Amino acid sequence: MVARVRSAVEARGVTEVHEDRYFDSDPIVRRNARSLYDETRALPIVSPHGHVDAAILARNDSFADPASLIVTPDHYILRMLYSRGVTLESLGTAPIDGKSPNAEKDPRKIWQTFADHWKLFRATPTRAWLEYELREVFGIKRDLDSASAQQVYDAIAERLRSPEFRPRALFKRFNIEVLATTDAASDTIEHHEALRKADLGGRVIPTFRPDALFRIASPQWSSEAR
């Protein structure tokens, strides 16, 4: 009966997911996991290692489009697709050697390419994160695939235009108490200074990550070492 219901739901392009899907199948372990989760899920987030650019929160502009928010900046997505023959250019970026500078600029085409290869992410943490993001953050219940790509794109784009999806509004919605950004040795802290005066409901603090200083063979090394 359960299988028939699931098949009927999937046939309509919507897959229901169980709230305990990430817990152990053993009922005792699952019950204990659920108990611990219920006790901690409402606690504020303290993130010691975040890749959020402080400038995004300081400016508080709307996010441009689904592709530049979700696909192009995510190295997990890029690595998976590139490993299966999808070109970086088709995903909106280009190799650092500069030999192929003509990256795709149309965010809809980038998103379609991503959706066309969605099946590659089955059983990966990336897929789990993205499915949660689409469902719980953006409220999209329909499965992502080649056929639904543009509808999902439009739904996300519509939400990104609303005040509730501005960076600072999301910061508060996610109940962030502390966010430590990842900063290069050459980064300034002007945006952090601005955020100290902002009403975020939490703190945004810089952290020092001098990785680039040790890549002395990199063409960008001199600018990072200044």
Report pTM: 0.83
Which residue bears the tokens 């611990």? 36
Query: What residue spans of the chain are helical by DSSP H?
Result: 2-11, 27-40, 54-59, 66, 75-83, 107-116, 125-132, 149-160, 167-173, 190-195, 221-224
Q: 105-158, pLDDT tens digit by residue?
A: 999 999 999 999 999 999 999 999 999 999 999 999 999 999 999 999 999 999
Looking at domain 64-165, which of 3.40.190.10, 3.40.50.970, 1.10.2020.10, 3.50.50.60 is its CATH number? 1.10.2020.10
Q: 27-86, pLDDT tens digit by residue?
A: 999 999 999 999 999 999 999 998 899 999 999 999 999 999 999 999 999 999 999 999
pLDDT score at 221 = 67
Separation of alpha carbons 169 and 60, rounded Å = 9
Domain ranges of the chain: 1-43, 45-61+166-226, 64-165
pLDDT score at 61 = 97
pLDDT score at 17 = 75
Distance between start and end Cα atoms, the chain? 66
